[in-house]
Amino acid sequence: MTDIKLAVESVGMKFQTTEGETEAISDVSFSVQAGEFVSIVGPSGCGKSTILNIISNLTQPTTGEIKVNGKVGYMLQRDHLFEWRTILKNCLIGPEIQGQDLKAARENVKRLLKTYGLEEFMHHYPGQLSGGMRQRAALIRTLAINPDILLLDEAFSALDYQTRLAVVDEVWSILRKENKTALIVTHDIAEAISISDRIVVLSHRPAVVKNIYTIEFTHPGLTPLENREDEKFRYYFNAIWEELDVHVTSE
């Protein structure tokens, strides 16, 4: 048996509001192994983010359960750096909240900032950084608590296209280098293919797993940006596109 970091087991989720009940997720199961990058794609509103919320313990599933082997770090769509804190202090928010040894955490964060080119901006406020740099800072903030598994919820979608391609490469190599496992939610099929080892395709609401693709490129071991050039890239794209069954005209 391989080292399973995260297992989602027949999770279902119903939301209650005064207007009524919405079944967001019907029955979803999949697992993520150590060091693996898994993406979840699916039509909008199919409960992708809800799954991450359940994994990170923000909401309780109605049915099923989650097994997590290790510490979870969560990265949101926008960087949400606190404007009133310097970059260094922003990155230390996690250890602060979790009551970790701040001295050790500070050294760790400083090392990360240095490794990933933010050392000279350590004492700057977020307003003084570019979008790409802010996202990198947000990643370091997530890494500061030493998570084993990273959840990325549309973590790049607030960036413009060029920055985004660069940041995806960057984040990918950082996570690989730091030996992390990642679960990525995205609506961007190309991004999912370029970055992942496997892709979980969800159906319309209420979501079930439609298919799980294992991505095997002809030239393995390349960066996400280089992967986009691979011969098999198009093939996966078309397959997943078909599977998503997107209709623009009829809702």
Partner 1 sequence: MSRVNNISPERKAYIKQIKQRKASIHMVQISILILFFVLWETAANLRWIDPFITSQPTRMFKTLKVLHSSGSLYLHIGSTIWETFIGFTVGTMGGILIAILLWWSNFLAKVSEPYLVVLNALPKVALGPIIIVWMGNGMPAIITMALLISIIVTIISMLNAFLNVDEDKIKLLKTLGATKYQILRKVILPASLPNMISALKVNVGLSWVGVIMGEFLVSKAGLGFLIVYGSQVFKLDIVMTSVIILAIAAAIMYVGVSYFEKKILKWQQ
Which contacts qualify for 96-103: CB closer than 8 Å, 24 or more apart? 98/145, 100/145
Minimum Å gap between C-beta 184 and partner 1 is 16
Enumerate residues 39-58 that contact partner 1 by CB under 8 A: 56, 58
Minimum Å gap between C-beta 2 and partner 1 is 27
Whether 210 contacts 243, CB under 8 Å: yes
Question: Is the Cβ of residue 181 or residue 194 nearer to partner 1 in the bound state?
Answer: 181
74 binds partner 1 (CB under 8 A): yes
125 binds partner 1 (CB under 8 A): yes
Minimum Å gap between C-beta 88 and partner 1 is 13
82 binds partner 1 (CB under 8 A): yes
Give 81's DSSP letter.
Answer: -
Whether 153 contacts 176, CB under 8 Å: no
Question: Is the Cβ of residue 141 or residue 198 nearer to partner 1 in the bound state?
Answer: 141
Minimum Å gap between C-beta 213 and partner 1 is 28
DSSP-assigned states of every residue in 192-243: HHHH-SEEEEE-SSSEEEEEEEEP--SSTT--HHHHTTSHHHHHHHHHHHHH
Residue of 4, 34, 68, 93 that binds partner 1 (CB under 8 A) = 93
Rounded distance, CA 243 to CA 202, Å? Answer: 9
96 binds partner 1 (CB under 8 A): yes
